[in-house]
Amino acid sequence: MWRFLEAVLMIVNALAILNEDRFLSPHGWGFSHMSTVGRVTSIKGQIIGLLHAVQYLRVPLIVLNIITIISMLIFG
Coil, helix or strand at residue 47: helix
Q: Which residue has the higher pLDDT, 67 or 31?
A: 67
Percent of the chain with pLDDT over 70: 89
Q: How far apart are CA 24 and CA 19, in angstroms?
A: 7
Does residue 4 carry a pLDDT above 90? yes
In tens, the pLDDT along 6-37 reads: 999 999 998 888 877 777 778 777 777 666 54
